[in-house]
Amino acid sequence: MRKTEENKNRNRIILGVVLVLQLLILVAGFVGIFRTERFYQAFVGTEFPTGESTIALAKGSYEVTVAYEMNVDAVRITPMFEAGYGADYAESILLQKEYEFKTFEMLLPASAETVYFQLPKLENPEDFTITSAEIRETNQADRVVFFVLLIFFVLVDVFFYLRDKKQIFAGLTKEQKGTGVCVGLIILFSCVPLYVNYLTGGHDLTFHLMRIEGLAEGLRQGQFPVKMQPLWLNDYGYPVSVMYGDLFLYLPALLRIIGFSLQSCYKIYLVFIQIVTAVTSYVCLKEVADNRKLGVVGCFLYMFATNRITNMFYRSAVGEFTALAFLPLVFLGLWYLLGKEETEEGDRKKAFYLLAAGYTCMLQSHLLSFNIAIIFSLLYCLISGKRFLKNFVFLVKTALVTIGLNLCFLVPMADYMLSHDMKVKFAANIENMQEHGLFLSQMFQMFCFPVSGSGNVMSGVGGDMAVGIGMSFMLILALFCWEILTFFIRRKKEEAAVQLKLAQPVKILVLFCLSLLMSCYFFPWNALGKLPGLGGFLTPYQFAWRFIGIATFLGVVLAMYALKFLEKLTDHTIKVGAIAVLCTLTLIGSQYLVDNKLSTGEMVKVTSAASIDTRGAVAGGEYLFVESSVLLIGNPNPVPENDTDLVIENFEKKDSAVTMVCENLLSEERNIQVPFLDYKGYRAINKETGEQLSLVSDEQHVLSVVLPGNFRGEVEVAFHQPWYWRAAELLSLVVLLVLFHKARWKAQIFAFHSR
């Protein structure tokens, strides 16, 4: 007893010493963030290091400002350095003719004796000249180090605290510990493509990197929630946050504000999504299979499915793979109500929160994936017959609560859709869905040699990325059909020793096959698109093969039923063999796709938006006005209607607001064009009197301030959210708080009755 007490005292002393050391390290790190003695050097003309001359810099973060003159539209300069591990380069910085200088971040992962900037090779070297530059050390790297240390120390302390209190791993069986380790390993190996110091290019990578950067910049400027993202379109702004749910992108945006590079934020986000996907799929499939081991198998099949690999690393379809991470929550909620043999009151409560959370997370991630989930949810409900009718009122209440939770997103989006003629309103006409469907030959494809994205029927399969479902799912389909046939043959011969409950798995089979058919080129999408009223709702998905995403998850659910039935119809050894074959085929296919991407993918290094063409980042420009062209947007300066009649002084654009002192020398109205587009929410005011001035726009929807005759004063033009957007946000917050309170109250009641 005495020895035990001595051990406890010794452990307390050790813990106290460790905590003191951690605190000292954190204090030193915090003080280091605010140190003032930092590197600074200015350059004039040819002094700027361009290879013939170099500069030595210590490991850390720097801010570089380059002033230049150019006669071409745009050039790129690339910071080069010789580090301890060899020669390397940072991101390639874009310099545009519209501007006279550029400020950008430069992160050095190691001290470098030779740092210089590689300039573009032009036919006429005089077309681009650097007139001056500055390099100053910043505290960005110090902030990142402090944050990483803080998170690491917190995790270590929490782990040892729970371990000392015997609250961690207490009561866990070997099977539970084993499944936890397996899921952890699945997450670890699913992130293999991220274990490089760059990004591999993807179809939509630039668009989503700009979403993160624009969100971070909006938060820096004081917007919350961010709606009109700055930086896009040469800082004209883009309403991507109004039209595209970005709830989960606040995580990488906050990391970006702390100081992480843009590519690091993106990688951390991908790891986060892999963790979420693994947890949601395991929990869901474990429940469906009523078996932890099969839950791990299902998690493995879903995590390494062809569709997920393609979405994450070939397409960089951030919205889509984020939404599909929460699809298991939606299915599990519906399964508790309509698929489980007997639904108890506790299951209904679980279903309510799972459905509200699952649909909300999908809607806030990717609208098209949410729409597809709604379609298949309705189909699942309809084929459930009496159980659907029994739960109809419950489902309606759940739907209303979900709508309430998402008013903060739905109201602004609906407002813009109704008030603006944006290109997204005519999305059904952008792509022919049917001609972008799959051939049956592509459906179960394991290997591919993509040279492009996804072609159409006329182009054939050659060069397409892997957009099918994979060989494993063909075997799952064949296995399940064999089991049904075997069962009925045995029952007919009166040899059936066991009864298989086929109602639910057959429904899953029907939906699985339907989703596969809907992804094919022969599904009648063109005919559906012509239906009055319904056509625009049924066919806005651009590519028919988007339905492979939900088919993948339904296929994994079908695999759970197939593997459960296999042991009943045969024996345990055959079941283990089937699992081994399915997992091996899945791993081979996914590993091939990963290896192919790593070996052929473009190497992309991006620290900030300084390397991104912010006009090209809009891709198809779905949220631009129909008449707008990105090529005609970009002048960062005010443009007076007449230089002789208007005087502009002290023009400044800061924090997404334009301020300028203007004078109209005439008694008639005159216009001054400002670098914003004509989206609802922009207002111009006379800062001296508070009077609101009129705004008009040209054929490209670029805004102009209307100055009254003989006007002189300071004018501000800025974006302000309409009051009803704020009201919608408040209502969503109220619904969320009520749900939290209700869940907490029920948990307390449950704990009281469990004593």
Q: If one looks up domain 635-721 in CATH, what number appears?
A: 2.60.40.1180
The pLDDT of 544-554, averaged and rounded, is 92
- Per-residue pLDDT at 524: 86
Query: What pLDDT band is residue 497 in, cutting at 50, 70 and 90?
Result: low
Q: What is the reported pLDDT for 165?
A: 61
**Residue 430: which pLDDT band, with cuts at 50, 70 and 90?**
very low
Output the pLDDT for position 84. 75
pTM of the model: 0.93
Q: For position 475, what pLDDT does the model report?
A: 92
Q: Which DSSP letter does residue 335 get?
A: I
pLDDT in tens, 377-390: 999 999 988 889 99
Q: What is the pLDDT of residue 397?
A: 93
- Among 79-88, 147-156, 365-374, 738-747, the minimum mean pLDDT is found in 738-747
Q: Please, which pLDDT band fits residue 277 given cuts at 50, 70 and 90?
A: very high
- Band of residue 639 on the pLDDT scale cut at 50, 70, 90: confident
To the nearest 10 degrees (0 to 180), the angle between helices 345-363 and 327-334 is: 150
Parse the chain into domains and list their residue ranges.
2-34+144-164, 40-138, 305-420+726-755, 430-569, 635-721
Q: Name the more confident of 5 and 610.
A: 610
**Residue 542 DSSP label:** S
Q: How far from 467 is each of 437, 448, 464, 543, CA to CA, in Å?
A: 10, 10, 8, 11
Res 173: pLDDT: 78
| Cβ-contact 100, 63 below 8 angstroms | no
What are 92-130's pLDDT values in tens digits?
999 998 888 999 999 998 888 899 999 988 888 888 999
The CATH number fitting domain 40-138, selected from 3.90.600.10, 2.60.120.260, 2.70.98.90, 2.160.10.10:
2.60.120.260
pLDDT tens, residue by residue, 688-741: 888 999 999 888 899 999 999 888 999 999 999 999 999 999 999 999 999 888
Distance separating alpha carbons of residues 286 and 298, to the nearest angstrom: 8
pLDDT for residue 427: 61
* 753 vs 130, residue with greater confidence: 130
Nearest partner of 112 among 87, 136, 135, judged by Cα: 87
Q: How many CA atoms lie within 13 A of 344 on its CB side?
A: 1
Kind of pairing, strands 639-640 and 670-677?
antiparallel
Rounded to an integer, the average pLDDT of 131-159 is 91
Residue 752 confidence (pLDDT): 38
pLDDT grade for 747, boundaries at 50, 70 and 90: low
pLDDT at 631: 79
Is residue 710 within 8 A of residue 667, CB to CB? The reply is: yes
Retrieve residue 155's tokens.
């995790």
> What pLDDT score was predicted for residue 1?
53
Question: In whole numbers, what is the pLDDT of the chain averaged over residues?
Answer: 87
